[in-house]
Amino acid sequence: MKSLFEQFGGTYRKESDYAVPNLETPDTGNFEIGIYGQRHLYFLQHYLRITYINLLTSGKLNEYLVEIDSQAQEHVFRIVEQMKQAQGITEQLKENNPIKWTGIMNCARQQAEEIVLKEMIYS
């Protein structure tokens, strides 16, 4: 009688006295996952375990993480641009008072990252 694994086309190889299933992971390509993708991966592994396992076993995990990372980076950029417009941060300020401009931009960037982390990465 064939096992369920064999009924679905699976095969085994012999190692010592054991029959080991021939399992191959799907080709996932060569993806570079950024910081937001890595943080979301950690979140999936620790808090959304079933989603993580489903993505991993379907071979779609890396592609998903790259997409999340890309969307998060774009969202941070858009939020920072909106904050710059709302607060009147201009290139003129950058030329006249670079230290103040840097402080304001760092603050805007941190706020944008907090928003994105809450809305996209840790949810």
- Does residue 27 belong to any structural domain of this protein? no
SS3 call for 71: helix
- Does residue 89 belong to any structural domain of this protein? yes
Domain containing residue 74: 32-121
Q: Where are the alpha helices (DSSP H) in 31-116?
A: 35-47, 49-58, 61-87, 91-96, 98-116
Give me the pLDDT at residue 27, please. Answer: 61
SS3 call for 20: strand
- Does residue 66 belong to any structural domain of this protein? yes
Give me the pLDDT at residue 28, please. Answer: 57
Give me the pLDDT at residue 26, please. Answer: 58
User: Can you give the pLDDT of all 123 residues of the chain as single tens digits?
Assistant: 888 888 888 888 999 999 888 877 656 567 789 999 999 999 999 999 999 999 998 889 999 999 999 999 999 999 999 999 999 999 999 999 999 999 999 999 999 999 999 999 998
Distant-in-sequence, close-in-space partners of 120: CB < 8 Å, separation ≥ 6: 36, 40, 68, 71, 72, 75
- Does residue 43 belong to any structural domain of this protein? yes
- Does residue 4 belong to any structural domain of this protein? no
How many separate domains does the chain show? 1
- Does residue 78 belong to any structural domain of this protein? yes
- Please state the pTM of the whole predicted model: 0.74
